[in-house]
Amino acid sequence: MEIMPAPLGRLIADLGRLPGVGSKTASRLAMHILRRPASEARALAADLMDLHAAIRLCGTCFAFSEDDPCQVCCDSRRDRRLICVVEGIDDLLAIEKTSSFKGLYHVLHGVLSPMDGIGPSEIKIDALIGRIKKDSVREVLIATSSTVPGEATASYLFERLKGLTTVSRLACGIPMGMDIKYADEHTLARAIEARAYERNQSL
Amino acid sequence: MEIMPAPLGRLIADLGRLPGVGSKTASRLAMHILRRPASEARALAADLMDLHAAIRLCGTCFAFSEDDPCQVCCDSRRDRRLICVVEGIDDLLAIEKTSSFKGLYHVLHGVLSPMDGIGPSEIKIDALIGRIKKDSVREVLIATSSTVPGEATASYLFERLKGLTTVSRLACGIPMGMDIKYADEHTLARAIEARAYERNQSL
């Protein structure tokens, strides 16, 4: 006999579809929500309903935003001729947290992955080229991940943007605070290749 | 400048209040929900809204249920004079999964914990005693966890129920399939003390 109440079972199934949430975690979360006051579940439900209704893509940089254009694209203190290209909004938020970048962004919403049928027209590359031409962009900083598809996307962009603007890539090397002896050999090899002789030009 | 859209920030804050979900996980989950179709977020929201509205406590055994009395308490094939006492509904579901218990349940909704101000009147002990007397219960199987508060609650119940009915406790010992050499010393000591000479009477 199934003694799990159906509404609880449905919530567990929903939660179990989230990434990294297995059936035991989903069950633990649902039980927690059930034991807490109904107002907390209602608040979470309301915020879930708001999410897609209130958030759109900025028509310029394709970041998620409540407004179009987004806050970053509207900010007159930012350097409009410097664009940082990222895979997703998580990367944008991570870079923004550093306070080290004062230009605008361009969110690709993915990386090239021919095996999954994701070619240049599936991610926001044409729109990037349009922006570069329209706004006479001075420099494009490619901040895709240093994974295989991230590197492939960066190489493709280097080729496509050649002649249009200056193209740079995030430095690859030893993470700050890391002991050299624990660095993996690929990172260490890259750090040796890319060794700094003089101070890089500041952004 | 805060560039995180407010509705996204609110959802991340909500999710981060769930047990075992830190701010990075909350952010990853919220991003995932945002990237998936709005219909999935709406389904999750609807199931959250349903949860407290549709689920109540069974007035007899205090399990969460859509109906009162619950399915288990209504099931005429179950032994109504055998009651298994559990801390929470998760424990009830775990026991039910074994198909080894054919009696009714009684959910305490907690364990005794004087440090947190949880005494006998804060958990459903009086209701248990009422049931035992009213239904001439033959046996109470105490299935609180083998943690310090679970054991303390079991000891308290043994005292309180003395003379009212037969009281038993889940066996404590080596888990099935476990290598003796990896068992912790407390479990092993308990397994030696509680060694079986003859087959226990079946439930």
Residue A135's domain is classified under what CATH number? 3.40.1360.10
In a domain? residue B147: yes
What is the model's pTM?
0.74
Q: Are residues A157 and A104 in the same domain?
A: yes
Q: Where are the alpha helices (DSSP H) in A36-70?
A: 38-54
- Cβ atoms of B54 and B67 closer than 8 Å: no
CB contact under 8 A, A6 and B66: yes
Nearest by CB to A43, which of B14, B53, B75? B14
pLDDT, residue A138, reads 92
In a domain? residue B133: yes
Q: Are residues A161 and A88 in the same domain?
A: yes
In a domain? residue B155: yes
In a domain? residue B50: yes
Q: Rounded CA gap, A191 and B148, in Å?
A: 53
CB contact under 8 A, B55 and A19: no
Q: Are residues B43 and B130 in the same domain?
A: no
Q: Are residues A22 and A109 in the same domain?
A: no
In a domain? residue A185: no
Residues near B77 by beta carbon (within 8 Å), at least 6 away in sequence: B102
pLDDT, residue A98, reads 87
Query: What is chain B's percent helix, strand, coil content, to nearest 5?
Result: 50, 15, 40
Q: Are residues B88 and B50 in the same domain?
A: no
CB contact under 8 A, A19 and B32: yes
What is the amino acid identity at position B191?
A
CB contact under 8 A, A53 and B47: no
In a domain? residue A32: yes
For residue B11, give the CATH number of its domain: 1.10.8.420
Q: Are residues A85 and A161 in the same domain?
A: yes
pLDDT, residue B194, reads 78
Q: Are residues A50 and A84 in the same domain?
A: no
Could you read off the pLDDT of B167-202 as tens digits, one per residue? 998 888 888 888 888 888 888 888 888 777 765 544
Domain holding A164, by residue range, is 77-172
In a domain? residue A106: yes
E strand spans, chain A: 56-57, 64-65, 79-86, 103-107, 139-142, 166-169
CB contact under 8 A, B46 and A50: no
Q: Rounded CA gap, A125 and A18, in Å?
A: 29
CB contact under 8 A, B48 and A33: yes
Q: Are residues B81 and B164 in the same domain?
A: yes
Distance of CA B5 to the CA centre of its chain: 39
pLDDT, residue B1, reads 52
A60 lies within 8 A of chain B by CB: no
CB contact under 8 A, B40 and A33: no
- Cβ atoms of B45 and A46 closer than 8 Å: yes
Could you read off the pLDDT of A65-79 as tens digits, one per residue? 998 889 999 999 999
Chain B residues with CB inside 8 Å of A3's CB? 63, 70-72, 92-93, 96
pLDDT, residue B203, reads 47
Nearest by CB to A47, which of B14, B25, B31? B14
Length, in residues, of chain B: 203
**How many distinct structural domains can be found in chain A?**
2
Q: Are residues A129 and A163 in the same domain?
A: yes
Q: Are residues B31 and B90 in the same domain?
A: no
Q: Are residues B88 and B48 in the same domain?
A: no
Closest CA to A85 of A118, A28, A127, A121: A127
CB contact under 8 A, A31 and B66: no
A97 lies within 8 A of chain B by CB: no
Residue A137 has pLDDT above 90, yes or no: yes
Q: Are residues A116 and A149 in the same domain?
A: yes
Residue A183 has pLDDT above 90, yes or no: no
Residue the block writes with tokens 């959802």: B11
Residue to substitute from B44, B55, B58, B77, interface A, most A β-carbons within 10 A:
B44
Chain B residues with CB inside 8 Å of A6's CB? 54, 66
In a domain? residue B71: no
Chain A residues with CB inside 8 Å of B51's CB? 7-8, 11, 30, 33-34, 38, 41
pLDDT, residue B72, reads 92
CB contact under 8 A, B11 and A51: yes
Would you place residue A2 in the very low, low, confident or very high pLDDT band (cuts 50, 70, 90)? low
Q: Rounded CA gap, A76 and A79, in Å?
A: 8
